[in-house]
Amino acid sequence: MQIILAAPRGFCAGVNMAIESLELALQRFGPPVYVYHEIVHNKWVVGDFGSRGVVFVDDLSQIPPGSNVLYSAHGVSPEIRQASEERGLNAIDATCPLVTKVHREAIRYAREGYVIVLIGHEGHDEVVGTLGEAPDAICLVAEEEDVNRLDLAEDQKIAYLTQTTLSVDDASRIIARLRERFPHIEGPARQDICYATQNRQEAARLLAEQADVVLVVGSRNSSNSQRLAEIARTGGVPAHLIDGPDDISREWFSGEETVLITAGASAPENIVQRCIAYLQDAYAADVRTHSVREEKVHFILPRELRT
Ligand code: SF4
């Protein structure tokens, strides 16, 4: 068996910053530290912090007044910020700056009287946060068919924004359809799908061509991990989204395959290494890393933790 280890893979700058922020908050304030929603969508990261006194909540009413609460990399709506203030919580904002950029764009377009078409997945934490910035000005579309159903006046100013972790190809198709229906639609000067999502997808697309099977390390609720598996399948290669080595099935292999391993932006590298160790042990697999792009992005810690 040959293993192609994709690079870049795994943690992005936003996830690194969010995890470092939570580590620092735990050290500085001691447990419990509360996090609104999962810090990142990965069961290992959430489980590890949970065992060390971090409490993940889906409702601010679960947090005692005066406590420390951290907002995850996916960001929150203004409603949550206000509710947190009213409850007297000490908020630490670990929202990824690339998500904040989308929030700012939504606020600007709404202020200038645009209807905003947000391309994203309903119910995803990031989308809920962005929608909350201008709930009366945003309509959500997830697929090309949703564009056909939009009922907007001819002279209405329209702009589109996207969730940061979409499939680049799917988003391009939806944007093309939007431009067809609304030729005057405007969009952000720079792509909203983030650098980490684009780079991991590019690596998966290029390297899957050389593979018989693709393993994507990441949790089921991780949007960007799901997209990586979809990209491989679109290229005709069977792909499995796995949380770790326990999810690997021997039925997927004869032992002669070339296996591409990649990981979503919220999947820890030690789990990737455990999956490799499993395949080396079971099939004497050889590993070579194939890098399609270098990443040097780093985000500074939230203001509340910088002193
Ligand atoms: S995937 Fe992109 S937008 Fe999301 S946390 Fe990472 S860098 Fe930020």
113 has pLDDT over 90: yes
List, for residues 25-47, the tens digit of each pLDDT value. Answer: 999 999 999 999 999 999 999 99
Q: Is 267 in the pocket of ligand 1 (CB under 6 A)?
A: no
Q: Tell whether the model's pLDDT for residue 72 goes beyond 90.
A: yes
DSSP letter assigned to residue 40: S
What is the pLDDT, as a whole number, of residue 45? 98
User: Residue type for 155, please?
Assistant: D
Q: Is 186 a catalytic residue?
A: no
pLDDT of residue 38: 96
**Spatial CA neighbour of 96 closest among 130, 50, 60:** 130
> 16 alpha carbon to ligand 1 midpoint, in Å?
10
Phi-psi region at 53: left, alpha or beta (left = phi > 0; alpha = psi -120 to 50): left
Set 20, 105, 112, 126: catalytic member: 126
145 burial via Cβ count (<10 Å: 0-12, 13-18, 19+): exposed
Residue 50: predicted pLDDT: 98
Give, using CA atoms, the residue closest to atom 7 of ligand 1: 14
What's the average model confidence in pLDDT over 86-111?
A: 98
Q: Give distance in angstroms: CA of 193 to centre of ligand 1.
A: 9
pLDDT (mean) for 219-232:
96
pLDDT at 248: 98
DSSP letter at 168? H
- What's the gap in Å between 42 CA and the centre of ligand 1? 14
Q: What is the pLDDT of residue 51?
A: 98
Q: Give the model's pLDDT for residue 247.
A: 98
What is the position in ligand 1's atom list of the atom closest to the CA of 165?
Answer: 1
Q: What is the mean pLDDT of the chain?
A: 97
Strand 54-57 relative to strand 68-71, pairing: unpaired
Percent of the chain topping pLDDT 90:
98
Ligand 1 within 6 A of 130 CB? no
pLDDT at 189: 84
- 4 sits in the region (left: phi over 0; alpha: psi -120 to 50; else beta) called beta
Extract the runs of DSSP E, i.e. beta strands, from 152-212.
158-162
Q: What is the SS3 string spanning 293-307?
A: CCCCCCCCCCHHHCC
Nearest alpha carbon to residue 198 among 168, 161, 228? 168
Using a 6 Å cutoff on CB, does residue 196 contact ligand 1?
yes
Looking at the predicted structure, is the pLDDT value of residue 76 above 90? yes
Ligand 1 near 260 CB (within 6 A): no
What Cα–Cα distance (Å) separates residue 147 from each residue in 132, 153, 205? 21, 14, 26
The DSSP bridge partners found for residue 288 are: 4
Radius of gyration of the chain (CA): 21
Question: Does the structure show a pLDDT above 90 at 275?
Answer: yes
Neighbours of 168 (CB within 10 A): 17
pLDDT at 179: 96
The terminus-to-terminus CA distance of the chain in angstroms comes to: 50
Confidence of residue 191 (pLDDT cuts 50, 70, 90): confident
Q: Is the CB of 271 under 6 A from ligand 1?
A: no
Does position 154 have pLDDT exceeding 90, yes or no?
no
Rounded distance from Cα 299 to ligand 1 centre (Å): 11
Measure the CA–CA gap between 74 and 95, rounded to whole angstroms.
6
The token duo for 104 is 């700012």
Percent of the chain with pLDDT over 70: 100
Lookup: tokens for 243: 């949380």
Across residues 245-254, what is the average pLDDT?
97
Give distance in angstroms: CA of 201 to centre of ligand 1.
13
Please state the rounded mean pLDDT for residues 193-221.
97
- The DSSP secondary structure of 239-273, one letter per residue, reads EEEESSGGG--GGG--S--EEEEEE-TTS-HHHHH
User: Model confidence at 135, in pLDDT bands (50, 70, 90)?
Assistant: very high
Shortest-distance atom of ligand 1 to CA 99: 3
At 190, the pLDDT band (50, 70, 90 cuts) reads: confident
Query: For 260-269, b where at least 16 C-beta lie within 10 A, e where not — what string?
Result: bbbbbbbbbe
pLDDT grade for 307, boundaries at 50, 70 and 90: confident
